[in-house]
Amino acid sequence: MGVTSDHVWPLGAEVERGDMPRDDLELAQRGACPTCGACQFMGSASTGQVLGEALGLALPGSALTPAPLAKLLRYARATGKQAVRLIQSNLTARRILTRDAFENAIIIYAAVGGSTNALLHLPVAAREATTRSGPTAASLDDIEEEPAKQRHWKPVNPLFTLPNVVVTPDAAYYPEEAIHTVRDFAAHEVVRVLTGQPPVSPVNANQLTA
C-alpha cells in the first residue's frame, strides 16, 4: 500500500469502530514507508537524533544510521569507548551543553525542518544544562529568533555573501493545512525577485540592495 505514516495513524480508530478489518490495518503498517531506523521522515524521533548530534551528545554522523548497516554496530562500540574517555576526563554533559551548542542545534533544527516537538524539548534541555554560574543555553526567545541572523556568525554568515541566494525566514515545520499557503508565498517571493522586485521578507536586505 502506498501510504505514509500520517495516513496509518487514524486507521487504528477505524478498526476500533469496526469500519476496517484488523488485517488491513496490519497490512498498512507493514507497507507504510518501509525504512530502517526511527521515523521514516523528520518526525519527533529523527529530529531528536539529529539534535542530539548537533548538541555534541552523539558521535558525528551517527544520528540517522539505518538499523541493518554494520556501521550502526561500529558507532555503538565507538560510543561506548568515547563514554569511557569522557568519564576519565570528567567531561560531563553540562560542560558539553553550552550556549553555543544549543545555538548550533537551533540552526540545524531550522535547516532540516524538524518536528515542532523540539520547541518543547530544547528549552527543557537548556534548563537542565543550567550551571551554578547561570544559564548556559537557550530558551524559546532564542528559538523564535531567525537563526540566520548575522550576529550568530563571525565574521559573517556565508549565506549573506552569495549574490545568487535570497535568504528569507525559514519555514521550519508547518502543519499540513499551512503547507499550501507557504508554497504560494514562496512562489510569489520568487516571482517578485525574478521580475526585479524586492522580496517581502528578506533577511539579507543589505546584500540585495548592494
Residue-range domain boundaries for the chain: 1-34, 44-145, 158-209
pLDDT band at 196 (very low <50, low <70, confident <90, very high): confident
pLDDT at 51: 93
Question: pLDDT above 90 covers what percent of the chain?
Answer: 15
pLDDT over 60 at 139, yes or no: no
pLDDT at 137: 47
Question: pLDDT above 70 covers what percent of the chain?
Answer: 66
pTM comes to: 0.57
pLDDT tens, residue by residue, 12-42: 888 888 898 999 888 887 777 655 556 767 8
Q: Residue 197 has what DSSP assignment?
A: P
Q: What is the mean pLDDT of the chain?
A: 76
Instruction: Classify residue 54 by burial, with Cβ atoms within 10 Å: 0-12, 13-18, 19+.
Output: buried
pLDDT over 80 at 209, yes or no: no
Sequence-distant (≥ 6) Cβ neighbours of residue 204 within 8 angstroms:
159, 160, 165, 166, 167
Task: Write the DSSP string, 123-188.
Answer: HHHHHHT-BTTB--S--HHHHHS-TT-GGGSSS--GGGG-TT-----------HHHHHHHHHHHHH
Which residues face 131 on adjacent strands? 134
